[in-house]
Amino acid sequence: MPIENNNPISKEIVKNETDNSERMEKSAALLENPIKDGEIGYDKVFIQADSIVQDGNKWQVNINSEDSTVILDDKWRKDLGLDASAIVPDIRNGDGTKKLVSGGTWVWIENNQGQRFLTLMRRDAGAPVDTNCLTGPAGRCGEKLSKTSVDETNQELIFLQLEKDGKIKLLAFYRNEEEKEKVVEEKLRQVGEMYKVLMEKGREEDAKYLADNIRSGEDIELLEMGRFEDKDSQLDEITMTIDGREVDKVKGIAYMDEKNKTLEVREVVNIKLPEGVNLAKVMDGEVFLRPTVLVEEGGFEALKSDDLVPALRNYVEKVVGK
């Protein structure tokens, strides 16, 4: 006979352990309760879509509550003890009935002269896919699209702007008011981590530039994702559902990468620099130290002959460079 547990504290522990187990095993549970940065399995466990339906510029990503999660590779699947979960190659090489979902942004910077520049970075030679290709901040979804696009932009890019008074501000994105404090903490931690990496790689000037200018939350300017949406772009509307129940919605550019069985979604952000404010520096925000590139609007014809990730090629050829 089972023993009834009347201790509210131990009940909460059991509940949390159950939630953590389910989110590792089931895509729907992961979507509702994503793994946070610093927790085991972060950026290694993803959702899979049971189906993706397009109707004009409206896309619906359907998650089946019975579908397993997708793990980065077989090593991580074994390490996490998730034998019933698929791995990324299973979906990419599968029959196409199940899909991966990737979220991110195309970030435009508009200066005081009205010139706009698309912010890109070049993947390194050791990248597992799309080696040496230009790309923007993006990653597979282990959470809702609206969360992925913010997180990936903050993690992969460091924007530094020069204020009128000569001070340097670091730009960071947030979605909701309650996220602000966490975003500031994460960006300050990122500055510390990048300082160490830059020093180790012999880029002492960049390391000191970061450390000397970004010391506290007062040196960070928060931008609300969605408020800087590029209104001129013909945006798609992408809805995520669990068993038909809507759980998330974003506006962006959607592209179905059939080769990799991945729906690529990018929110389009236009940062218009205030009068007298200039962009000081753009850097890779991760340890890869990928070179960043600012491509001026109107210069996309030459970009078409470069190596681009599929989502960027779609954006350049069908949206920007048409």
CATH code for the domain of 143: 3.90.79.10
Predicted confidence at residue 227, as pLDDT, reads 74
Q: What percent of the chain has pLDDT over 70?
A: 92
Residue 3 forms part of a structural domain: no
Predicted confidence at residue 213, as pLDDT, reads 98
Residue 148 forms part of a structural domain: yes
Please tell me the distance from the alpha carbon of residue 218 to that of residue 285, in angstroms, as a whole number: 19
Residue 258 forms part of a structural domain: yes
Please tell me the distance from the alpha carbon of residue 287 to that of residue 321, in angstroms, as a whole number: 31
> Would strands 138-140 and 157-162 be described as parallel, antiparallel, or unpaired?
unpaired
Predicted confidence at residue 6, as pLDDT, reads 53
Q: Which phi and psi (to 5°) does residue 313 adopt? A: -60, -40
Q: What is the pTM of this model?
A: 0.91
Residue with the bigger pLDDT between 27 and 96: it is 27
Residue 2 forms part of a structural domain: no
Residue with the bigger pLDDT between 51 and 299: it is 51
DSSP 80-129: HT-TTSEEHHHHHTS-SSSBEEEEEEEEEEE-TTS-EEEEEEE--TT-SS
pLDDT band at 242 (very low <50, low <70, confident <90, very high): very high
Predicted confidence at residue 20, as pLDDT, reads 73
DSSP state of 231: T
Residue 147 forms part of a structural domain: yes
Number of domains in the chain: 1
Residue 1 forms part of a structural domain: no
Residue 210 forms part of a structural domain: yes
pLDDT band at 301 (very low <50, low <70, confident <90, very high): confident
| Residues belonging to the chain | 322
Q: Which two tokens stand for residue 62?
A: 């359907």
Residue 181 forms part of a structural domain: yes
Predicted confidence at residue 15, as pLDDT, reads 39
Averaged over 273-297, what is the pLDDT? 95
Predicted confidence (pLDDT) at residue 142 exceeds the cutoff of 90: yes
Predicted confidence (pLDDT) at residue 1 exceeds the cutoff of 60: no
DSSP state of 233: S
Averaged over 163-183, what is the pLDDT? 96
Predicted confidence at residue 277, as pLDDT, reads 97
Predicted confidence at residue 127, as pLDDT, reads 78
Averaged over 160-185, what is the pLDDT? 96
Averaged over 24-44, what is the pLDDT? 95
Averaged over 229-255, what is the pLDDT? 89
Predicted confidence at residue 234, as pLDDT, reads 81
Host domain of residue 61: 8-320
pLDDT band at 287 (very low <50, low <70, confident <90, very high): very high
